[in-house]
Structure 1
């Protein structure tokens, strides 16, 4: 009787261990193999590897800014960021952008 009481005391642990083991066995049994996944995603892996190689190559070969060109208060970086944003926007002002959205009739 003592064994049955201890078994009932740990019934949630036993059930969760059983469910976890069944889940593990089913995942191992029904999941695709490593080579199957690799053959399906090889183009994605290759393009990502080439992109990372290009990033590392350009990071190594490009000249990094010297410490004298960047001020300690960060104003040089802020000025460069504003220049990039102006280039991306293309010199458009807010009024022309907002007017184009309001004239959607």
Structure 2
């Protein structure tokens, strides 16, 4: 699942106004974090995740790991915030950030 340049641009525009739903901190990618991100992606399709870790390399590795685990696509990474996308099986128009 690879996003085109136009899709990424559109998702970045939508994601600009979003607030982070999940924060990954010192304990890393715990099972609870993974489940919460998975649930948030199923509900909202496009979410922001905040990474409160000090090392840049660790942060990049955690972002790649999280995207692999939840089978999502990284749209954008700015500072400590990652914007990730995964298409929902049954998008809910009231919750989806793409359909509102």
Q: TM-score, normalised by structure 2?
A: 0.24
Q: Which has the higher contact order (CA 8 A, sep 6+)?
A: 2
Give the number of the structure whose residues are more often strand, by fraction. 2
TM-score (norm 1): 0.23
The structure that has the greater radius of gyration is 1
